[in-house]
Chain A
Amino acid sequence: MTPNPPRLDLLQGTLDLLILRALRTETMHGWAVSERIQQISQDVLQVNQGSLYPALHRLEHHGWIKAEWRISELGRRARFYSLTGSGRKQLELEAENWNKLSEAIARVLRMA
């Protein structure tokens, strides 16, 4: 077992961005979404599983992702999420915003 790397709590709103990004290429169920985020971020980002589902439902409510019941790897049915057209646009928008923000913060930090 390797020692856990330090984990960061997710900023409010960034979870949505990460979920949308995770679903961009692939349709997957909730648990897989949280695993994917953790994997890609090399375990730096820890998704609070309790807040994952409200976030998924919220995105679905906005119409950015859609859900359907499919048979999972366990052989029982699970709710699979995929990105919709408007979700794709939303992802671009949020990603751009995020980049602007992080660049701005980086610049401030460099100045200081």
Chain B
Amino acid sequence: MRLKDFVLRLRALLFRQRMDEELQEELAFHLEMQVRKNRCHERNPAEAERQARLQFGSVVTTTEECREVRGISYLEMLGKDVRFAFRMLRKSPGFTGVALLTLALGIGANTALFNIVYAVLLRPLPYPDPDRLVAIYSNYPVDGNASFSYPNFVDWQLDNRSFAHLAAYHPDDFTFTAAGEAQHVVGERLTAGFFDALGVKPILGRNFLPEEDRIGGPPVVLLSENFWRNRLGSQRTILGQSVTLNSTVYTVVGVIPADFSFSGKGFIAGDVYVPLGQSPGWPFQSRVFTMDIYGFGKLRPEVSLAQARADMDGVARRLAERYPDADKDSGIGLVPLKQDITGDTATLLYLLLGAVGFVLLIACANIANLLLARSAGRMREFAVRAALGATHGRCICQVLAESVLLSLMGGCLGLLLAAWATTGALGVVPNALPRAEEVALDTPVLLFTLGISIGAGILFGLAPAFRMGGQSLQEVFKEGGRGTSGARHRLQRVFIVSEVALALVLLAGAGLMVRTLIELESVNPGFNPRNTLTFSLTLPRTLAIQSAAALREHYRQITENLNALPDVEAASMIDSYLPMEGDDELAFWRDEDPKPASDSEMLMAYDIGVQPGYLRAMQIPLRQGRFFTEDDTTRSPLVVVVDEVFAQTFFPNQNPVGKVIDLTVFNAKAQIIGVVGHVKHAGLAADSTNSTHAQMYYACMQVPDRIVVTLWPLSHLARFLVRTKGHPLTALGSIREILNHMNNQQTIYGVATLDKIVSDSVAPHRFTMILMGAFAALALTLAGVGIYGVMSYVVGQRTQEIGLRIALGAHRMDVLRLVLGESATMAVLGVLIGTAAAFGLTRLLSKMLYGVSAHDPLTFAGGAILLTSVALVASYIPAQRAMRVDPMVALRHE
């Protein structure tokens, strides 16, 4: 419709009365002029007027025609239709209630999921020019994108011509000391341009300056708004004051707003930010050793991603020439930041969105069926309307107005449901999705809900609308008000069969996910996560600056004290990542081989530094040789323990015990003293036979001084693992007590049970299973209700026929069979179609599956049986009603 046209129509609607009056005045004027003219040859004034009226014709018709030209009609009609629809819905609360509930569930589930999809995948990142942000990695032939070394990053910054900003960060833990009390705080070490690249302005003070972001720069810190408010009393005088972190005194230069969030790899929006370039210790200065430093860049406006890639390839090539030892095989990987953050979740979320769309389709089919059944009772009403001059189009409009009104009301309820369901879904499985903190019901989501509400209303209203609109008077009265039952039944059956088919697809998907979770839970991770607790410890200020020997002794004492607790079965320090939390790799070569020419030709294995209690705490089986003892110290020869995969990969068909390997970072030879069971370090679904998952343990107490002094005070690397006798969290009290007793400056943080870590590692699987399960349950319920509704209706319509059959001697069991047979036919047909569809669609889920094929016959059969049973149960009540039909009553009915 043209805008001007619409404005005229709107004006006509709003000023309707005035325009009507003006029209009457205009016509009256015309009549008067005509009367005057007639007077010239007609003496009798009354006759003159009569003739004028005759010449004019019907004033009413003219008025109507003028109004129609002005175009108020269809807006006005719509208003009438809506008012009428509202009355009709109020008149049948039962129907309206069921329909609204169905719609609220269908639309609510869709809105909730779209809400998540929008926040995670569609909404632009909350920074200026989000499309120019690109994640940057070191790229290796085998491992792909990984963290990079700080010196390499500095060279990237200097050498590239593509980026307006290039920023790097390293998540870290700090000990914040105030008034003699130590607190653990989380933070980031980041480069000076970090917040500028994201367009984040401090609410107080300023961002880091380039000269602060280098070794020897003045120690400065940015605080988070929350930290400033909650721990420092939100004083505006904070700028220029000092805070103590890790025994260094930092000057506060700014406060970062609380609404800042960043979901880049590994980033935690913590409490404190310090310049990355000032970071102490050789690990930050090594090109070989990487310290979980990640980064991103903002492309110059005129540079495309492909150009940037070409540019950075050149940068990497020049680095490889200059530092062949470290960078010979490493390239630079660029990934659009949003894509890097959302990663694999895109496929998964779109899949779930498709699944929830099926639920809405089922809901629509159900309501269409309800409306069809209801339309039977309203055939006469519409026939009468048609007889009184309503056009086909008018009748269709009336029915559509009703269905759209219904779906809009359902949509409103659905919105409420969605608000609740979204938080529910995200709450049940936290950590399953990136950007989850950005989920909020906002305009695009509301528009989506409005869109699907209207769409659904039209969709389920169409079939009944055309059926009603196309009704001819004759037919209706001929059928005695029962409508053209045959055709309508056919349509209803089509709907039911489709519902069953859709529900089967969802059931198959949900079934496969349940099987996957069961399989994953039955996977032996190689250790026993029951009753184990892990925590990190802040290091007392006085200790952080002491010698390696003192640090070793301190940690040895902690473990000794923990082991002495009555609740504790075994305890160990861990100088690396726990399984499923991350991995650390160590380069080495077999002593019998010559030393490889470059780092890239080294052998690699996961490395974990532990204490003697680790094996018992994790309950990892010892296969061969021995594990570490308290006697393995810096004064005794360096020894390592390897796992089965290590033994098979690097010493196939040999006895690995007694073999010697050369460890790069340790700069020393180590003898293998034992072989232990393999641990699923990379996750439950990881392939344990994969040689890249080979593992090696070293003793914490044998770590060289150089590493102890620089790495151990970075407190998150010193974690403890404790196997407890009872529930792990009940032991926490006595653990805290003993540690505090040793030194009141060491506090526990990052407490987790291994059970939780293992269960979090399958969070995306669980998230998928819960959502698919919920959708399938919804689909099953709706399909059941739908079949019940249709069968009840069919039985109601066929009461006479059934009565007649019984009167003619049909057995009541025959009647039961008749009804159940009909619904079984529909169910089986639906199941067949659904199986075919599911066969094609579950393939999309295969990435999320573990231990079960996407076409698992057992799951498919289970879904089919469940669905058919539900169909039979749902039609049993109407079938019984049919069975009890009293032939006398039924026949007298007419």
Complex: chain B residue closest to A79, CB-CB:
B26
A53 lies within 8 A of B34 (CB): no
A50 lies within 8 A of B57 (CB): yes
Q: Which of A12-20, A57-65, A89-97, A99-107 contacts B (4 or more CB under 8 A)?
A: A57-65
Q: Which of B66-74, B257-265, B542-550 contacts A (4 or more CB under 8 A)?
A: B66-74
Q: How far is the CB of A76 from chain B (nearest CB, A)?
A: 7
A54 lies within 8 A of B65 (CB): yes
B26 lies within 8 A of A78 (CB): yes
B29 lies within 8 A of A54 (CB): no
A54 lies within 8 A of B69 (CB): yes
Given known contacts A50-B57, A61-B69, A61-B71, A79 and B22 CB-to-CB distance under 8 angstroms: yes
B30 lies within 8 A of A30 (CB): yes
> Is A29 among interface residues, defined by CB-CB distance under 8 A?
yes
> Is A42 among interface residues, defined by CB-CB distance under 8 A?
no
> Is B413 among interface residues, defined by CB-CB distance under 8 A?
no
Complex: chain A residue closest to B61, CB-CB:
A50
> Is A98 among interface residues, defined by CB-CB distance under 8 A?
no
Q: How many angstroms between the C-alpha atoms of A32 and B369 in the bound complex?
A: 59
A61 lies within 8 A of B8 (CB): yes
A31 lies within 8 A of B65 (CB): no
A57 lies within 8 A of B70 (CB): yes
B57 lies within 8 A of A49 (CB): yes
Q: How many angstroms between the C-alpha atoms of A63 and B3 in the bound complex?
A: 13
Complex: chain B residue closest to A32, CB-CB:
B33
Interface hits, B14-46 → A, CB 8 Å: 22-23, 25-27, 29-30, 32-34, 36-37, 41
Given known contacts A31-B30, A57-B69, A50 and B22 CB-to-CB distance under 8 angstroms: no
Q: How many angstroms between the C-alpha atoms of A90 and B615 in the bound complex?
A: 95
Q: How many angstroms between the C-alpha atoms of A35 and B68 in the bound complex?
A: 25
> Is B58 among interface residues, defined by CB-CB distance under 8 A?
yes
> Within 8 Å CB of B66, what residues of A?
53-54, 57
Q: How far is the CB of A66 from chain B (nearest CB, A)?
A: 12
Q: How many angstroms between the C-alpha atoms of A35 and B34 in the bound complex?
A: 10
Count of chain A residues with Cβ under 8 Å from any Cβ of B? Answer: 22
Q: How many angstroms between the C-alpha atoms of A1 and B25 in the bound complex?
A: 32
> Within 8 Å CB of B4, what residues of A?
63
Contact flags A24-52 to B (C-beta < 8 A → 1, else 0): 00000111100100000000000011110
A31 lies within 8 A of B33 (CB): yes
> Within 8 Å CB of B61, what residues of A?
50
> Within 8 Å CB of A30, what residues of B?
26, 29-30
Q: How far is the CB of B47 from chain A (nearest CB, A)?
A: 15
Given known contacts A1-B41, A50-B56, A72 and B29 CB-to-CB distance under 8 angstroms: yes
> Within 8 Å CB of A31, what residues of B?
29-30, 33-34
B62 lies within 8 A of A29 (CB): no
Given known contacts A48-B57, A54-B62, A61 and B32 CB-to-CB distance under 8 angstroms: no
Question: Quick one: which of B29, B37, B65, B70 contacts A78, CB cutoff 8 A?
Answer: B29
B55 lies within 8 A of A49 (CB): yes
A58 lies within 8 A of B26 (CB): no
> Within 8 Å CB of A49, what residues of B?
30, 34, 55-57
Q: How many angstroms between the C-alpha atoms of A32 and B36 in the bound complex?
A: 13
Question: Quick one: which of A29, A50, A57 contacts B29, CB cutoff 8 A?
Answer: A29
> Within 8 Å CB of B41, what residues of A?
1
Given known contacts A49-B56, A49-B57, A54-B62, A74 and B26 CB-to-CB distance under 8 angstroms: no
Q: How many angstroms between the C-alpha atoms of A61 and B70 in the bound complex?
A: 7
Q: How many angstroms between the C-alpha atoms of A102 and B855 in the bound complex?
A: 75
Q: How many angstroms between the C-alpha atoms of A30 and B26 in the bound complex?
A: 8
Q: How many angstroms between the C-alpha atoms of A78 and B31 in the bound complex?
A: 12
> Within 8 Å CB of B25, what residues of A?
77, 79
A58 lies within 8 A of B57 (CB): no
> Within 8 Å CB of A58, what residues of B?
69
Q: How many angstroms between the C-alpha atoms of A110 and B36 in the bound complex?
A: 45
Complex: chain B residue closest to A72, CB-CB:
B29
**For chains A and B in complex, what number of residue pairs have CB atoms within 8 angstroms?**
61
Q: How far is the CB of A32 from chain B (nearest CB, A)?
A: 8
In this complex, the member of A48, A57, A77, A78 whose beta carbon has the largest number of chain B beta carbons within 10 angstroms is: A57
Complex: chain B residue closest to A59, CB-CB:
B69
Q: How many angstroms between the C-alpha atoms of A29 and B65 in the bound complex?
A: 19
> Within 8 Å CB of B62, what residues of A?
50-51, 53-54
B34 lies within 8 A of A50 (CB): no
Given known contacts A31-B34, A79-B22, A53 and B27 CB-to-CB distance under 8 angstroms: yes
Q: How far is the CB of B530 from chain A (nearest CB, A)?
A: 81
Q: How many angstroms between the C-alpha atoms of A40 and B62 in the bound complex?
A: 25
Q: How many angstroms between the C-alpha atoms of A1 and B32 in the bound complex?
A: 22
Q: How many angstroms between the C-alpha atoms of A61 and B36 in the bound complex?
A: 30
> Within 8 Å CB of A32, what residues of B?
33
> Within 8 Å CB of A72, what residues of B?
29
Question: Quick one: which of B29, B36, B58 contacts A76, CB cutoff 8 A?
Answer: B29
Q: How far is the CB of B807 from chain A (nearest CB, A)?
A: 63
Q: How many angstroms between the C-alpha atoms of A59 and B29 in the bound complex?
A: 20
Q: How many angstroms between the C-alpha atoms of A73 and B22 in the bound complex?
A: 18
> Within 8 Å CB of A53, what residues of B?
23, 26-27, 30, 62, 65-66
Q: How far is the CB of A61 from chain B (nearest CB, A)?
A: 6
Q: How far is the CB of A2 from chain B (nearest CB, A)?
A: 11
Given known contacts A50-B56, A61-B8, A74 and B65 CB-to-CB distance under 8 angstroms: no
Q: How far is the CB of A58 from chain B (nearest CB, A)?
A: 5
> Within 8 Å CB of B69, what residues of A?
54, 57-58, 61
Q: How many angstroms between the C-alpha atoms of A77 and B32 in the bound complex?
A: 12
Q: How many angstroms between the C-alpha atoms of A49 and B70 in the bound complex?
A: 18
Complex: chain A residue closest to B37, CB-CB:
A35
> Within 8 Å CB of A77, what residues of B?
25
B33 lies within 8 A of A74 (CB): yes
Q: How many angstroms between the C-alpha atoms of A54 and B64 in the bound complex?
A: 9
> Within 8 Å CB of B56, what residues of A?
49-50
Q: How many angstroms between the C-alpha atoms of A48 and B57 in the bound complex?
A: 8
Q: How many angstroms between the C-alpha atoms of A88 and B36 in the bound complex?
A: 32
Q: How far is the CB of A27 from chain B (nearest CB, A)?
A: 15
A74 lies within 8 A of B32 (CB): yes
> Within 8 Å CB of B36, what residues of A?
74
Q: How many angstroms between the C-alpha atoms of A77 and B23 in the bound complex?
A: 12
Complex: chain A residue closest to B70, CB-CB:
A57
Complex: chain A residue closest to B63, CB-CB:
A53
Complex: chain B residue closest to A33, CB-CB:
B30
Complex: chain A residue closest to B32, CB-CB:
A74
Complex: chain B residue closest to A69, CB-CB:
B22
Contact flags B425-444 to A (C-beta < 8 A → 1, else 0): 00000000000000000000
In this complex, the member of A1, A35, A53, A72 whose beta carbon has the largest number of chain B beta carbons within 10 angstroms is: A53
> Within 8 Å CB of B23, what residues of A?
53
Q: How many angstroms between the C-alpha atoms of A20 and B179 in the bound complex?
A: 94
Q: How many angstroms between the C-alpha atoms of A90 and B62 in the bound complex?
A: 25
> Within 8 Å CB of A35, what residues of B?
37
Q: How many angstroms between the C-alpha atoms of A57 and B36 in the bound complex?
A: 24
Complex: chain A residue closest to B59, CB-CB:
A50
Q: How many angstroms between the C-alpha atoms of A51 and B41 in the bound complex?
A: 25
Q: How many angstroms between the C-alpha atoms of A78 and B33 in the bound complex?
A: 11
Q: How many angstroms between the C-alpha atoms of A57 and B33 in the bound complex?
A: 19
> Within 8 Å CB of A79, what residues of B?
22, 25-26, 29
Complex: chain A residue closest to B65, CB-CB:
A54
> Within 8 Å CB of B5, what residues of A?
61
Complex: chain A residue closest to B57, CB-CB:
A50
Q: How many angstroms between the C-alpha atoms of A76 and B36 in the bound complex?
A: 14
Complex: chain A residue closest to B22, CB-CB:
A79
Complex: chain B residue closest to A46, CB-CB:
B55
18 contacts between A and B (CB under 8 A): A30-B26, A31-B29, A48-B57, A49-B56, A49-B57, A50-B61, A50-B62, A51-B65, A53-B27, A53-B30, A54-B62, A54-B65, A54-B66, A57-B66, A61-B5, A63-B4, A76-B29, A79-B25
Q: What is the interface of chain B, defined by CB distance below 8 A to chain A?
A: 4-5, 8, 22-23, 25-27, 29-30, 32-34, 36-37, 41, 55-58, 61-62, 65-66, 68-71
Known: A54-B65, A76-B29. 7 other contacts (CB 8 A): A49-B30, A49-B56, A49-B57, A50-B62, A53-B23, A53-B65, A61-B70
List 8 tightest A-B contacts by C-beta distance, closest first.
A50-B57, A54-B65, A31-B33, A57-B69, A31-B30, A58-B69, A49-B56, A79-B26
